[in-house]
């Protein structure tokens, strides 16, 4: 069985206690996987492998580094979609959806999501 995990680029400064919570869950998952026949694919938004990961036959890291053009495109697309929704339904609340989630899903689809049985998103 293959398990995919997406780690956002969060730091202790950006999400505080959520970072500790996420780190503890990831550590437990890494320990669990090392004692089973499961494979873990960790997707991250940094080029560097996170310090807590030890790459093995069972654990690999795939970078989904967000370039500045991709970030700008994501933000513009979600803003445009919100404007169109507001024009179509003027009484609705103007809401811009988080662009990172859609980008992550698109990136995962183009970076080998095939064969992964479960995806866990640790992004805040």
Following DSSP, what letter does each residue of 43-110 receive, concatenated?
EESSSSPPTT----SSEEEEE----HHHHHHHHHHHHHHHHHHHHH-TTSPP-PPPHHHHHHHHHHHH
What's the order of all strands across the beta sheet hosting 118-121? 59-63, 39-44, 2-7, 118-121
pLDDT at 33 over 70: yes
Which is higher by pLDDT, 87 or 99? 87
Percentage with pLDDT > 90 across the chain: 7
Q: Give residue-wise pLDDT tens across range 68-90.
A: 887 788 888 888 988 998 999 99
Which is higher by pLDDT, 105 or 13? 105
Q: Is the pTM of this model over 0.95?
A: no
């Amino acid at each position: 069985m293959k398990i995919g995990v997406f780690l956002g680029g969060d730091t202790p400064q950006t999400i505080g206690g959520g970072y500790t919570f996420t780190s503890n869950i990831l550590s437990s998952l890494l320990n669990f996987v090392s004692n089973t026949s499961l494979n873990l694919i960790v997707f991250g938004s940094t080029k560097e492998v996170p310090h807590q990961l030890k790459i093995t036959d069972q654990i690999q890291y795939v970078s989904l580094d967000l370039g500045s053009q991709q970030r700008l495109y994501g933000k513009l697309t979600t803003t445009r979609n919100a404007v169109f929704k507001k024009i179509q339904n003027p009484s609705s609340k103007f809401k811009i959806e988080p662009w990172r989630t859609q980008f992550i899903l698109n990136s995962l689809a183009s970076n080998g999501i095939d064969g992964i049985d479960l995806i866990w998103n640790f992004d805040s």
